[in-house]
Structures are given as C-alpha cells and as structure tokens.
Chain A
Amino acid sequence: MTPAEVIMTAIGLALFVLAGGCYGGLYAAAMLRSSRRLMGTAFASYAVQLGLTVLVWMYSNLAMSWKLLILASVLGYAFVPVVTWRYMHILHRTGEQTT
C-alpha cells in the first residue's frame, strides 16, 4: 500500500467501528425511550457503517481476505446490539421476578 492508502484505510476502519458504536448506543437509547427518531438515527449510523464498508472495499488495497472479514464483522455489528438488548430484557424481566 502507498503511504496515503495506509492512512486513509486506517481512518476508514476507525470510522467504521465508531459508526458501529453509534448504532449500538443509539439503538439501545431508542429502545429505552421507544423513540422512533432515535431509532432512525441509529439506523442512519448503521447505514454510514455500511457505506464505509463499501468505501473500504472499493478504494483500499487491503487483501481480499481482510475485506471479507470486514464484511463479516459488519453483520456482527448489526446483530450484537439487537441480541444483547433482547437478552438483557428477558434476563431482567425474569431475573427481577425471582429476586
């Protein structure tokens, strides 16, 4: 990779994780407040993350294996907040009943 490509790819990956984090945090906040507006921003963050995946895929010189890994992890980012939230919810509902 050229020096500029190294830097741009790294910044792309940082924003990729950041967008995923925003999605997770906002998703949780939206569920908490049952706010459709917050949920909209959460999905927008995830759309940004998808966009960054496309950008990294198209413009970076990362090896194909790493691009596939990024693609796989963007799916992980989609599910982790949803699964965690549901699980926390179930756990708290039953956990607080039994204690």
Chain B
Amino acid sequence: MDIQDPNFWRAGAIGTTVTMLVVLVFLTIDSMGSIRAGGRQVPNYDVINQHIGYEHNWNRGQAVPVIGEQELLFGKLYTLEEATRVMETGKLVIQTRNCMNCHTFFGNGAYFGPDLTKSWLDPAWTRIFMPMTGATTKEEAMVRFLMNPEKYPTWTRKMPNLDLTRSDAEALVAYLKWMSSIDTNGFPAKFGMAEPQ
C-alpha cells in the first residue's frame, strides 16, 4: 500500500463509488415500495373519495395524514381507473402550466407562491375563498379561483391566469386532494394546526 501512488486512490475511488451505488440501488428498491401509488406512504388515487385530515401522531412525534370516511369530490364517486385518469390530467396541468416555478410541491420548486403539499387542507379555502367566490363547497371555490385567479386576489402577489378549462381545474383540485394524503414524514409541520394570526 503506497499512498503516494495514484493507483491506490484510483482503487479507493472506484471501490467507494461502487459500494455507495449498490447501497443506493437497494434503498431505491425499498423506497419504491413506499412511494408507488398504493404503497406504504402514498395512498392510491381513489383516496380522493375519502375525507383526508392531518393530525399530530404522538407515537411518531409528527403530523400524519388521516384517511377518514367517504367524502365525495364534486359529488362523484371515482373508480380507481377514473381517479387515475383524473390524476394524469392533473399532473399534466401542473407541468404544462409550469406551476413548479412559482410554487413548491413537497417543498421543491420555486418560492414565490405557497407550498402546495397540503394545500387541499388549507383553512383559507373555506374561510376566505368560499365566501369570496360564492361557492358552497371547498372544491368548487378552488375551481373558481383557479379558472379566474385575477378576479379573486387576496394579496399583492397574484396568481396569473393560466387558461385552465373547468376539467383542468377539477383535475388539479383532485390532484391536490390526493397529494395531501401522502405521508411526508411530518412536512410541513403543524399545517393548519396553528392558531390563526
């Protein structure tokens, strides 16, 4: 072993890299079991038919999503197949409208708009947007806002109009409802649990 010989370090570099990659591959295989729709931490898409809450779990010491009783979205019961198709549209809306360059999902993206991880659970929809849009349900208020954001400004940073059709907006709302059901290890902390300021 001669530490002055570059070959010694070459072997070290190759060995370390290969070891780390092998570990990463195993962890990835295991992680896929958690993050596929219907996996350990990510519910299947038809979870949008149920009530979703977010509560502090004392055993885990963090907030976790709680899937409750049936709670229809837009008054409709989605089959898994229908829900999957809606999610495909919802995700396509998110990508084609470049949402991630103003907002964050799981805290990743841009920071000009609020994080959307648990947006479905945001009390602002019922407290502010339902009265403002005259809608009788939260999902309807979200759709009206998304289709005409400039009509319902709440702050100096306003969302632009991104030409969403009604079905685009509904798919997006469904997507946000599904996302809020994902177990994100407690992120964001205390969402919607703090006292209104």
Contact = CB atoms under 8 A, between A and B. Distances in A.
Q: Do chains A and B touch in the complex (CB under 8 A)?
A: yes
Interface size class of B (residues with CB under 8 A): under 10
Interface stretch (A8-16, A19-27, A46-54, A87-95): A87-95
Q: Chain B interface secondary structure, helix, strand, loop or mixed? A: loop
A95 B3 CA distance: 12
A87 B4 CA distance: 8
Contacts of A91: 4
B4 to A, nearest CB: 6
Interface in A34-61: none
B67 to A, nearest CB: 28
A90 B8 CA distance: 15
Contacts of B3: 87, 90
A16 to B, nearest CB: 24
Contacts of A90: 3-4
6 contacts: A87-B3, A90-B3, A90-B4, A91-B4, A94-B4, A95-B4
A94 B4 CA distance: 8
Interface string A56-99: 00000000000000000000000000000001001100110000
